[in-house]
Structure 1
Amino acid sequence: MEHTKFRNQDMAWDIAALILFPPQFDSAKTYPTIVSVHPFGSCKEQTSSAVYGKALAEQGFVVIAYDASYQGDSGGMPRWVENPTQRVLDISHVIDYAVTLPYVDADRIGVIGVCGGGGYALSATLTDKRIKAVVGITPVNIGRLFREGFSNYDPLGALEAMAAQRTSEARGGDLQVNELLPASLEQAEQFGLLERDVFEATDYYKTPRGQQPGGATRMLFSHAQNTLGWDAFGFAELLMTQPIMVVIGQKVGAFGAYRDGLEIYGRSTASRDRQLVELNDWSHYDLYDREEPVGLALKQMVPFLKKHVANGITQKREAA
């Protein structure tokens, strides 16, 4: 595994990434490559690399797992901005970097994403046709979630509050950084925050199970207004032409991945190959790292990605 940072001419800051290599990696060959997109509030060291990235590298792919702009070890100020437009642009920026690497085959690039990262991966695939196939793992349309549960079903009220807070900050006021989860499982129980997705997110992000320094689970409130006007699945019927797989658990939670997964699958009618994988008895956060559901997901994902991205896994690189 290699730690790296990069930027291109469209960027004013560095993107930090982990590159995971297949066994017996040979830099004289070219490899199919997967860009792995982390969840909302997460970082590259969590499920995007440690679970799915690791597994796909073992199957012969080069995997690039990176931190979103404004988050983790990547640059961008102010910190903890969740901007869907930038999150989608980040994916294309990572691909821009990948195609400069001599061992990456520019014609064999796929994208996977988990949770909000799944929504971003799907959105990027609509317009970046360098992506040959996409897998959304328990994907969430962050725009829909912000308009609904994250704004207490009052998106206009949220936008007014964000506007007032942004004006205050522009005039020198303190930044409002919202913590997205209880500090511990005990606090979640104390305040009755027992809804499945909230409680299981706390178990993942706030315990040794998944906790990482870069997984901040916080958001700059004043800069989230663009999120409420964004739709991960806009124009999917027309633009989602590449093969798409959606993996969802049937234990439904408040963040809405089951609903969103069904929606993007149903709308991707122009896709050359669309597949829906529903896993009985598993939840959104089970698919982050639990051995059995992750194994079931990979059992479907690996053949799908090998078919549409790998084409034999490695190839000899032609001499310059």
Structure 2
Amino acid sequence: MKTTRFKNPDMAWEIAATLYFPPDFDETRSYPAVISIHPFGSCKEQTSGAVYGQRLAKLGYVVFAYDATFQGESGGQPRWIESPTQRVEDVSHVIDYAVTLDFVDDQRIAVLGVCGGGGYAVSAASTEKRIKAVIAITPVNLGRLFRESFSRHNPLGALEAMAQQRTHEARGEVLEVNELLPSSPDAARDAGLADRDVLEATEYYKTERGRSEGGATRMLFSHAQQILSWDAFAFAETLLTQPVLVVVGEKVGGFGAYRDGTSIHGRALASTDRRIVSLPDWSHYDLYDQDEPVEMAMDAIRPFLGDHLS
């Protein structure tokens, strides 16, 4: 494992990444690679790297777990922007870097994304054909989520509020940074929150279970407009031609990963091989780091990548 930073001529900033290497790694050999995309509000040290990145490396893949632009240790100002366009472009930037490395086989590159990262993986693969296989772990279509529950089903009202706040900030007022989750599980319960995903997200991100300095779980409110008009699965029926594996848990919550996962599996009509694994006893956040469901996911990932990156 090693950490690195890189940029290319398209960027004014650096992307920070952790590379995970197979056992007995030999830089004179050529390896298949997986680009691992973290969830909304997360970072490379959490599920995309420490869980799936490490396991994939043990299977013989070089894994690139990276921080999105404006987040974690990557560059970009102001901080904590969640930009779907940039998030998808980041995937291509990471591939641009990967293909400069002699030990990466540029014909054997896959993407794996968790939660919002799963939506970004699908979107990126629709136009980035250096990607040869797509793995979406409990994927969330962030645009759909923002138009619905994150805006309280009032996307136009949210856009008006963002517009007003952006004008305030342009005139020198303080940036409005939204905390996406309660400060602790107790705070969530004290606030009367009952949704499974909110409670389990708080348990993951706000305790020692998953807490990481880079996983800020916050968002700059004024710069979130484009999320509301974005669709992770746009044109998937015609443009998503690569093999696709979706893994979802059937214990559903308000973030809608089961709904989105089954949706993209059904819509990937142009895919050469579409598979779905639905786990009856597990939830969205169980698939972040709990050994049993993660190993069930890996049991599907192993033959899927073997079939398409061999």
TM class, shorter-length? over 0.9
Determine if the alignment matches structure 1 residue 169 to structure 2 residue 169: yes
Question: Which residues of structure 1 form unaligned runs of 5+?
Answer: 312-320
For residue 193 of structure 1, report the CA deviation from its aligned partner: 1.3
The aligned counterpart of 1:53 is: 53
Deviations along 1:105-161, one digit per CA (max 9) or x if unpaired, are: 000000000000000011000000000000000000000000001000000000000
Runs of 4+, deviation exceeding 6 Å: none
The aligned counterpart of 1:273 is: 273
Any idea what SS the aligned residue of 1:278 has? Answer: strand
The aligned counterpart of 1:113 is: 113
How far apart, in 1, do the equivalents of 2:12 and 2:134 lie? 27
Deviations along 1:20-46, one digit per CA (max 9) or x if unpaired, are: 000000011000000000000000000
The aligned counterpart of 2:220 is: 220
Determine if the alignment matches structure 1 residue 256 to structure 2 residue 287: no
How far apart, in 1, do the equivalents of 2:306 and 2:22 lie? 14
Q: Which amino acid aligns with 2:62?
A: V
The aligned counterpart of 2:89 is: 89
How far apart, in 1, do the equivalents of 2:148 and 2:17 lie? 32
The aligned counterpart of 1:140 is: 140
For residue 306 of structure 1, report the CA deviation from its aligned partner: 1.7
| TM-score, normalising length: structure 1 | 0.96
Q: How does 1:162-311 map to 2 (within 5 A)?
A: 162-309=162-309, 311=310
How far apart, in 1, do the equivalents of 2:172 and 2:74 lie? 25
How far apart, in 2, do the equivalents of 1:169 and 1:42 lie? 25
Q: Which amino acid aligns with 1:288?
A: Y
How far apart, in 2, do the equivalents of 1:306 and 1:104 lie? 16
The aligned counterpart of 1:23 is: 23
For residue 194 of structure 1, report the CA deviation from its aligned partner: 2.2
Q: Which amino acid aligns with 2:186?
A: E
How far apart, in 2, do the equivalents of 1:195 and 1:142 lie? 18
Question: Which residues of structure 2 form unaligned runs of 5+?
Answer: none
How far apart, in 1, do the equivalents of 2:23 and 2:3 lie? 17
Determine if the alignment matches structure 1 residue 39 to structure 2 residue 39: yes
How far apart, in 2, do the equivalents of 1:114 and 1:12 lie? 27
Any idea what SS the aligned residue of 1:136 has? Answer: strand
How far apart, in 2, do the equivalents of 1:27 and 1:270 lie? 36
Any idea what SS the aligned residue of 1:260 has? Answer: helix
Any idea what SS the aligned residue of 1:112 has? Answer: strand
Any idea what SS the aligned residue of 2:101 has? Answer: coil
Q: Which amino acid aligns with 1:55?
A: R
Any idea what SS the aligned residue of 1:3 has? Answer: strand
How far apart, in 2, do the equivalents of 1:224 and 1:86 lie? 12
Any idea what SS the aligned residue of 1:202 has? Answer: helix
Q: Which amino acid aligns with 1:216?
A: A
How far apart, in 2, do the equivalents of 1:220 and 1:20 lie? 31
How far apart, in 2, do the equivalents of 1:99 and 1:118 lie? 22
How far apart, in 1, do the equivalents of 2:130 and 2:98 lie? 11
